Amino acid sequence: MDVVSPELNSLLPDEIMDTEAATAAAAADSAPGSQSSITISASSTLFAMKPALATSTATTKTTDSLTGTTVSTSGTQKLATPFAFSAANHQIILNKVASAQATEAAKAAAAPAQVIKQEGQKLLVTTIGKSGQPIVLQLPHTSGKPGVSQTSGDAKSPSPQFKVVTIGGRELKPVVGSAGNQVTTLQAQQLKTVQNIKPVQSVAVGGVGGSQFKTIIPLATQPNVQQIQVPGSRFHYVRLVTATTASAAGQPSAPNTSKPLVVNTGAVRMSVPVVQAQTIKQVAPKPLTSAPQVVTTTQTQQRLIMPATPLPQIQPNFTNLPPGTVLTSAPGGSNVGYAVVPAQYVTQLQPSQFVTLASSSSFPASSSVQTQAKLPYNGVSAAETTSRPRKPCNCTKSQCLKLYCDCFANGEFCNNCNCNNCFNNLEHETERLKAIKTCLDRNPEAFKPKIGKGKEGESDRRHSKGCNCKRSGCLKNYCECYEAKIMCSSICKCIGCKNFEESPERKTLMHLADAAEVRVQQQTAAKTKLSSQISDLLMRTTPIISSGGGRLPYTFVTKEVLEATCECLLEQAKRAEQTRQPQAEAERAILEEFGHCLMSIISSAGKAKTDCASINC
DNA sequence: GAGTTTGAAACT
DNA sequence: CAGTTTCAAACTC
């Protein structure tokens, strides 16, 4: 079954190809029609963990090859029950083997690489990174081309016999020597992990030429991974079940790592980090410069439904499961949550959003599905286009299904918006997908960021289409260039543009904006400090007061006191106004006066407390 | 908060 | 492709 059409591939952003997955894809290049590249997606969730044969604690940072995101993973990983491997019809099947055998394998510090012979090809089964990290299996093409991720192959063969691909953008050193003979300790550890993985149900087989990609679902009966076909979606999903909820009864805790997941290192171009939905936390939004972004995860017992590869089939049960959707079970229902996450965007989610969405207990039964995730059709991380949470939209007529709607245009579901008749949600998935298609038909780059990345830094950022401003001088937020804090370029068609480097108007605006920002920061700092001082005072006085009965600060902040304080502050303001003091100075004086007032109140309160104590009241 | 202005998106 | 309309955000009062 074809999973990615050339058309779809053409729609994917260039950034995706600027990845090691793409490199691997290039390395996997082979004659048209061949199916020589097989990649098995893996994650701690996918490979549901069994009671530990071995336990390792690791902290791993993995760079997401799609977004440049750095995924930080930490925690204890319990290796799973081992499995044997077999391959047939270009399928890799990981079969369970006896635990004793697995134990032996786990004990072997330098276990040999798993080599699968199939039609003259060999498969090196290994992982990259530390124990428990994702696993990539790739059948090499017998005439594989040199590539950064490709090994030298079998020593007895002039051509490479196996191929190692990277996961999540993590560089993988070539395996030296023939498969099964010269394996490094790291590889042995990786293999140990491989031997302990659970069956995988979905295997994406990368072919060559864009249209050659196949999806194989070899283990339909395996309980831990289920393939889900989403109608109208370019992705198909694999439901990933953690050991806690599916196969590891009695296990005290679920694995707590996030894993990058290479779904297909071929031209499907998906290298996705799998993070467990319930507890994903984004430490900081990804800046425009696409600097590495840190994502941390903590323990979870959630299931993930991950988009593995695009899937054209439409099945009725999942018309409301769009890519980029986090699902959760209804309260009182299943004890496990579900998440449908276009994993390449997982790291872009705002932490609060994701945590909320993944919470399986916070949704009403009538709406067990909530969404707040990046949709895949955008193909670009939210962080690449925005550095802060998107403002809620106010659409009234577009149903949030046109590019007028910022949420839709940025590939997001509406969430906490003020829109009316919104269709940009799961309940209207069919319409939404249709709208996406319409937009893409009209403009294949409709969901790509308008502000292109500069090759040599932000100074080279520019609007992909240029603006068409006529009246704003390109110095108001009406102008998309100005709004993006970039100057207009030669491709702009604006009239009366003042948004260029030497523009005095622009410089003046910038200075004003800077000054305003500084002022806001100062005010914020002052408020914070004052608030802190008040809190501190209350904390210090309350115990003393309460010991004598009554809450002194509140007792003494009477209406009269408040009025007197306000009078003082107003008087100070008037004085500042009369003397024409600068605003900042006036604010300082008022705050200072407020401090005096507070001190007076506190002093009086303390005195009263003393007096009260002396008369034993 | 209501009304106006603006320019991108959508439409013809 | 150009002109017009629609739309929602930005802006003003």
Tell me what the mean pLDDT of segment A199-227 comes to: 36
Asked if strand C comes closer than 7 Å to A15 Cβ, the answer is no
Q: Which domain holds residue A565?
A: 507-614
Q: How confident is the model at residue A511 (pLDDT cuts 50, 70, 90)?
A: confident
- Which nucleotide across the nucleic acid strands is nearest to A479, CA versus C1'? B7
Beta strand segments in A457-581, E: 462-463
How far apart CA A218 and CA A228 sit, in angstroms, is 14
Domain check: are A477 and A556 in the same one?
no
- Which nucleotide across the nucleic acid strands is nearest to A483, CA versus C1'? C10
| Element at A58 (helix H, strand E) | strand A55-63
Asked if strand C comes closer than 7 Å to A442 Cβ, the answer is no
Domain check: are A558 and A578 in the same one?
yes
What's the confidence (pLDDT) of residue A413?
92
What's the confidence (pLDDT) of residue A29?
40
Is A373 part of any domain?
no
Ramachandran bin of A34, using left for φ above 0, alpha for ψ from -120 to 50, beta for the remaining angles: beta
Is A376 part of any domain?
no
Is A236 part of any domain?
yes
Domain check: are A547 and A401 in the same one?
no
* Beta carbons of A486 and A461 less than 8 angstroms apart: yes
Is A372 part of any domain?
no
Is A1 part of any domain?
no
Asked if strand B comes closer than 7 Å to A434 Cβ, the answer is no
Amino acid sitting at position A338: Y
Indicate whether A110 pLDDT > 80. no
Domain check: are A306 and A359 in the same one?
yes
Q: How confident is the model at residue A567 (pLDDT cuts 50, 70, 90)?
A: confident
For chain A, report the end-to-end CA distance as a whole number of angstroms.
Answer: 86
Average per-residue pLDDT in chain A?
Answer: 54
- Which nucleotide across the nucleic acid strands is nearest to A446, CA versus C1'? B9
How far apart CA A73 and CA A63 sit, in angstroms, is 11
Domain check: are A174 and A277 in the same one?
yes
How far apart CA A334 and CA A315 sit, in angstroms, is 22
Is A530 part of any domain?
yes
Domain check: are A479 and A567 in the same one?
no
| A405 CA from B9 C1′ (Å) | 10
Indicate whether A488 pLDDT > 80. yes
Q: Residue A125: phi, psi to the nearest 5?
A: -100, 120
- Which nucleotide across the nucleic acid strands is nearest to A403, CA versus C1'? B9
Q: pLDDT by residue (tens digit) across A276-318?
A: 333 333 333 333 333 333 333 333 333 333 333 333 333 333 3
What SS3 state is found at A75? Answer: strand
* Beta carbons of A296 and A111 less than 8 angstroms apart: no
The residues near A577 (Cβ < 8 Å, ≥ 6 apart) are A586
Number of domains in chain A: 4
Indicate whether A468 pLDDT > 80. yes
Domain check: are A275 and A252 in the same one?
yes
- A217-228 burial, b for 16+ CB within 10 Å, e for fewer? bbbeebebbbbb
Q: How confident is the model at residue A530 (pLDDT cuts 50, 70, 90)?
A: confident
Tell me what the mean pLDDT of segment A136-141 comes to: 41
Asked if strand C comes closer than 7 Å to A478 Cβ, the answer is yes
Residues 482-541 of A with CB under 7 A from strand C: 483
Indicate whether A517 pLDDT > 80. no
Domain check: are A476 and A355 in the same one?
no
Is A385 part of any domain?
no
Asked if strand C comes closer than 7 Å to A405 Cβ, the answer is yes
Asked if strand C comes closer than 7 Å to A398 Cβ, the answer is yes
The last residue of one of the domains, among A406, A421, A442, is A442
Domain check: are A597 and A545 in the same one?
yes
What's the confidence (pLDDT) of residue A330?
36
What's the confidence (pLDDT) of residue A41?
34
What's the confidence (pLDDT) of residue A439?
93
* Beta carbons of A88 and A37 less than 8 angstroms apart: no
The last residue of one of the domains, among A367, A398, A432, is A367
Indicate whether A471 pLDDT > 60. yes
Domain check: are A350 and A475 in the same one?
no
Is A383 part of any domain?
no
Percent of chain A with pLDDT over 90: 12
The conformation of residue A459, written as its DSSP 8-state character, comes to G
Considering all CA atoms of chain A, what is the largest pairwise distance in Å, rounded to the nearest integer? Answer: 102
Domain check: are A251 and A292 in the same one?
yes
Domain check: are A421 and A457 in the same one?
no
Q: pLDDT by residue (tens digit) across A220-269?
A: 334 444 443 333 343 434 444 333 333 333 343 433 433 333 333 333 32
| A464 CA from C4 C1′ (Å) | 24
Q: Residue A522: phi, psi to the nearest 5?
A: -65, -45
Tell me what the mean pLDDT of segment A94-108 comes to: 41
Q: pLDDT by residue (tens digit) across A335-391?
A: 333 333 333 333 333 333 333 333 333 222 333 333 344 444 544 444 444 345 678
What's the confidence (pLDDT) of residue A478?
95
Covered bases, chain C (protein CB within 7 Å):
6-11
